Amino acid sequence: MAAASTLNLPSLSSSSSLSHPTPTLQTHISIFSKTLQKSHFPSSLSLPNPHKPISLSSASKSPISDFFPGHDEDDSSDEKLREECGVVGIYGDPEASRLCYLALHALQHRGQEGAGIVAVNENVLQSITGVGLVSEVFNQTKLDQLPGDSAIGHVRYSTAGSSMLKNVQPFVAGYRFGSVGVAHNGNLVNYRSLRAKLEDTGSIFNTSSDTEVVLHLIAISKHRPFLLRIVDACEQLEGAYSMVFITEDKLVAVRDPFGFRPLVMGRRSNGAVVFASETCALDLIEATYEREVFPGEVLVVDKNGIQSLCLMAHPQPKSCIFEHIYFALPNSVVFGRSVYESRRAFGEILATEAPVDCDVVIAVPDSGVVAALGYAAKAGVAFQQGLIRSHYVGRTFIEPSQKIRDFGVKLKLSPVRAVLEGKRVVVVDDSIVRGTTSSKIVRLLKEAGAKEVHMRIASPPIIASCYYGVDTPSSEELISNRMSVEEIREFIGSDSLAFLPFGSLEKLLGNDSSKFCYACFSGNYPVEPRELKVKRVGDFVDDGLNGSLESIDGGWVQANVNQSLDNNLTVEKVGGL
């Protein structure tokens, strides 16, 4: 299922405007004129002369579990935290849309519910979006409809209802000075208040995605240069956003001041510039990784080269630690660190700080494999495949009429009796969310003959929801928020249980430890949710429902906010889908 997707923004007066936090746009105009002479970023950053043509010189799965509908009590899909999406942008390559297609394949683990590409040809933005996997949305015929040397793409994950086509990105909109496409990874915590102000000025919304808010803010900006319109819009955003924009002649990449979600830049040998959520996408299309897009940075690529602008004075970066624990592929470099090396080190720490006499080390595939390898190597015990994951389970399945215990887990994971029977087994997983799947896995292993099952978790206990672009349950549903480690061990039925100690995680990260966000482990939020209700990630409102945001109930969780806040404030956790 594929179709063109366009958002029609209402005609807005240039006098329509929202209040802006400081610094002002005038400050940014001044900064921009001096950007290339006096960088706001590390001195090692070398930017080309904006008045010369772009250089053509070469610079050089922790897979998400298969998605199941949440109707069956044996369903285990809700046991994994979910990344919302992945983005990619390419400028200066005649095969831009096809390279975008390949890059989205590499980012498929970040979202499996929808995909889209917008390409520019003869100053016209052409869009194809669809529900399903990248390979299901696009084929040769579809890609033939997307000629041009610049393109952006998006893969989407949602959690509630059907994946409605109108919510699949990239979004494309026309405004008085042209057209713009955007793909967004993240979540805006002030979405509801921004949307309310925009609706007061006459804006009409086609989706419940906070990404559409960004397009409206760009459209009503009183500044003429597109770059300053983006700055104008981003000054009003709070929360997490890594975005790529495309216009008739520009590709723009933006990252929020805290740098919650990843975004990297690379080049192909022909000089084409590539932005992507992870370096694994660069590897697939033979683009050499150059650097991250810095927190609070706007990078503009056009015929004059690359221009860098400091979006706003940014605080200490707070990058999502779960990119290293679970979301990113092991072959990616995220936030300047190898994901593989991080996960292997997590396993080594567990073997050192939570050792146990065992005969074999296994992993919950695929996300626990690298940490299990680290544990086994440090403990001097053989690593073996005690659980085999089926890679052929679709996103729906037919359950037999006679109830089969742990059906959902058994459909995905098959125990190997030859590895397990009579053995003391250490099983390594990346996290425990609600605990129901862990209990089923322990039971599965013991039914296959394991003498003892010792669970080791390659992350600290998750006690709080995330508001920055990760689908997490409410805090009350998180088992580590309700139970001690010993109580969790009893609940899942393992012979022992240990989590990665938080202090050891900080020690491993060394001088970089303060640059990561640990809100899910501590409940301390770099950007506090200022409003009382948070909507579960996913375009819930638009998935087959019509009405105002206030009139549609369901999918809401309480935010962990100061009780003194105005009770009328609410925020919808929909972000970047």
116-129 mean pLDDT: 96
Q: What is the pLDDT of residue 406?
A: 73
30-44 mean pLDDT: 37
Give φ, ψ of 18 to 5 degrees: -100, 160
301: pLDDT strictly greater than 50: yes
316: pLDDT strictly greater than 70: yes
Tokens of 429: 């997983």
85: pLDDT strictly greater than 80: yes
Mean pLDDT for the chain overall: 80
Q: What is the pLDDT of residue 404?
A: 76
478-494 mean pLDDT: 96
Q: Can you tell me the distance from the alpha carbon of 111 to that of 113, in angstroms, rounded to the nearest whole number?
A: 6
Q: What is the pLDDT of residue 158?
A: 60
pTM of the complete model: 0.80
26: pLDDT strictly greater than 80: no
Q: What is the pLDDT of residues 508-527, one digit of tens each?
A: 999 999 999 999 999 999 98
Q: What is the pLDDT of residue 504?
A: 97
Residue of 355, 353, 347, 341 lying closest to 372 (CA atoms): 347
Give the residue, 113 or 162, on which the prediction is more confident.
113
Q: What is the pLDDT of residue 420?
A: 97
Q: What is the pLDDT of residue 83?
A: 54
Which stretch of DSSP H or E encloses residue 454? strand 452-457
Q: Can you tell me the distance from the alpha carbon of 154 to that of 115, in angstroms, rounded to the nearest whole number?
A: 6
If DSSP states are collapsed to H, E and C, what string results for 264-328? EEEEECCCCEEEECCHHHHHHCCEEEEEECCCCEEEEEECCEEEEEECCCCCCCCEECHHHHHHC
- Measured between alpha carbons, how far is residue 494 from residues 73, 441, 489 in Å? 21, 10, 6
153: pLDDT strictly greater than 70: yes
Percent of the chain with pLDDT over 90: 58
Concerning whether 85 is annotated as a catalytic residue, the answer is yes
Domain boundaries, the chain: 80-314, 337-390+401-512
C-beta of residue 129 within 8 angstroms of C-beta of residue 168:
yes
C-beta of residue 413 within 8 angstroms of C-beta of residue 441:
yes
18: pLDDT strictly greater than 70: no
Q: What is the pLDDT of residue 79?
A: 60
150-155 mean pLDDT: 97
- Reported as a pLDDT band with limits 50, 70 and 90, residue 81 is low
- Reported as a pLDDT band with limits 50, 70 and 90, residue 127 is very high
78-101 mean pLDDT: 86
Q: What is the pLDDT of residues 258-285, one digit of tens each?
A: 999 999 999 999 999 999 999 999 999 9
37: pLDDT strictly greater than 70: no
Give the residue, 527 or 385, on which the prediction is more confident.
385
Residue of 210, 213, 190 lying closest to 201 (CA atoms): 213
138-157 mean pLDDT: 95
526-545 mean pLDDT: 53
- Reported as a pLDDT band with limits 50, 70 and 90, residue 19 is very low
Percent of the chain with pLDDT over 70: 73
Q: What is the pLDDT of residue 165?
A: 74
Q: How far is CA 418 from the centre of its chain?
A: 38
Q: Which of 85, 280, 517, 520 is catalytic?
A: 85
Conformational region of residue 448, where left means phi above 0, alpha means psi within -120 to 50, and beta covers everything else: alpha
7-26 mean pLDDT: 38
The H-assigned helical ranges of 451-567 are 479-482, 485-492, 502-509, 519-522
DSSP classification of residue 383: B
- Reported as a pLDDT band with limits 50, 70 and 90, residue 50 is very low
Q: What is the pLDDT of residue 77?
A: 44
Q: What is the pLDDT of residue 563?
A: 34
536: pLDDT strictly greater than 70: no
83-101 mean pLDDT: 93
Residue of 11, 13, 3, 5 lying closest to 204 (CA atoms): 11
The DSSP bridge pattern shows strands 337-338 and 333-334 to be antiparallel
569: pLDDT strictly greater than 70: no
505: pLDDT strictly greater than 90: yes
Q: What is the pLDDT of residues 407-433, one digit of tens each?
A: 778 788 999 999 999 999 999 999 999
178-206 mean pLDDT: 89
- Measured between alpha carbons, how far is residue 301 from residues 26, 53, 229, 261, 345 in Å? 22, 11, 16, 21, 37
Whether domain 337-390+401-512 has CATH 3.40.50.2300 = no
Tokens of 282: 């660069």
Q: How far is CA 468 from the centre of its chain?
A: 9
Q: What is the pLDDT of residue 552?
A: 40
Q: What is the pLDDT of residues 338-349, one digit of tens each?
A: 999 999 999 999
Give the residue, 90 or 6, on which the prediction is more confident.
90
Residue of 153, 83, 512, 511 lying closest to 329 (CA atoms): 83
Q: What is the pLDDT of residue 390?
A: 85
Q: What is the pLDDT of residue 43?
A: 35
* Local structure of 234: helix, strand or coil: helix
Topology at the third CATH level for domain 80-314: Glutamine Phosphoribosylpyrophosphate, subunit 1, domain 1 (3.60.20)
Q: What is the pLDDT of residue 53?
A: 36
